[in-house]
Amino acid sequence: MSPAFPRVALIGLGLIASSMAHAMRAKGLAGEITGYARSTDTRAIARDLFCDRVTETAAEAVRDADLVVLAVPVGAMGGIAAEIAPHLKPGAIVTDVGSVKQAVIEAVSPHIPEGVHFIPGHPLAGTEYSGPRSGFATLFENRWWLLTPLEGQTPEPLARLRALLEAIGANVDEMDARRHDLVLAVVSHTPHLIAYTMVGVADHLRRVTQEEVIKYSASGFRDFTRIAASDPTMWRDVFLTNKDAVLDILGRFTEELFMLQREIRMGDGEQLHAYFTRTRAIRRGIIEAGQDTPAPDFGRAPAAAPGRTKA
């Protein structure tokens, strides 16, 4: 069977790109995988682990590629798109894995030549690890991959990309870019901001020593630190490029927080119980949707997934 894409170019070689490479390799979906990253160390690791060929420039990596995946921070998308544009093959598909979509579309679209198909995308998958050693082939299994096709998108390239993503295990859905950014502000961006804030509060609250924070973190704080361990460059760009939606949701969160603060101060146990009962149903819905397991893991060992190591 011939591969879905004879040549795939990965621009940026971190967790998502390396996991895509491992998954495509395992399923025979790519003939040749080329890659580019700014760091010479990253390029060397990628060459050893998952790329057939690693190049010194992004322009060289995309030459003759049938599929180009932009896996760089959102703030770097426009510059990379301008660099590779003259070298894109007619008929090629360009996609990205950025956590924000409207800003990426505005940065990348002006550089895409006529005859090249740009299909923005976002895999809702990840770990607290980053770098070329962190990828593993099963990262996308039963995880959502959202595509935000542009108006007038040609059906055939969209179908080809969907088929590839489904073949590596993802559940694929399509969504308007602005709607995507609002939804992600709720389910990802604001929770990450809150996690960073809570870890920052613990750092500044001198009445709780660092030793105590670390020693007793097998509770809610442990999971805050896992989220807050995510790549700082990526999240800086996310908040700057999706600021309107994040500020909207953050304002709503602040209102809810003030309400809870009042109920705690007033000793209103009935209202607190009702509130927690409603929000608990969201967690049950996540489990029923197959996006997590109800198994308790409060004493879990820090075992890494196959192939997942710190970069």
Over residues 170-185, the pLDDT tens digits come to 999 999 999 999 999 9
Q: Which of the pair, 306 or 73, is modelled with greater confidence?
A: 73
Q: Which sequence spans correspond to the domains of the chain?
A: 5-175, 179-288
Q: What are 245-300's pLDDT values in tens digits?
A: 888 988 888 898 889 899 999 999 998 898 888 877 777 776 677 766 665 544 44
Contacts of 177 (CB under 8 A, 6+ apart): 101, 102, 105, 120, 148
Q: Which of the pair, 237 or 82, is modelled with greater confidence?
A: 82
Q: Is the pLDDT of residue 21 over 70?
A: yes
**Residue 306's pLDDT band (cuts 50, 70, 90):** very low
- Domain 179-288 = CATH 3.40.50.150: no
Does residue 73 contact residue 233 with C-beta atoms inside 8 Å? yes
Provide the pLDDT for residue 303.
42
Q: Is the pLDDT of residue 52 over 50?
A: yes
Q: At residue 109, what is the residue type?
A: S
- Domain 5-175 = CATH 3.40.50.720: yes
Cα separation, 229 vs 282, in Å, equals: 25
Does residue 24 contact residue 183 with C-beta atoms inside 8 Å? no
What is the DSSP annotation of 200-254?
HHHHH-TTS-HHHHHHT-TTHHHHHHHHHTS-HHHHHHHHHHSHHHHHHHHHHHH
Q: What are 205-242's pLDDT values in tens digits?
A: 655 566 666 666 656 666 766 777 777 888 888 888 99
As given in the structure block, the two tokens for residue 85 are: 């544009």
As given in the structure block, the two tokens for residue 56 are: 């010194």
Cα separation, 145 vs 125, in Å, equals: 8
Q: Which residues pair with 68 in a beta bridge?
A: 9, 94
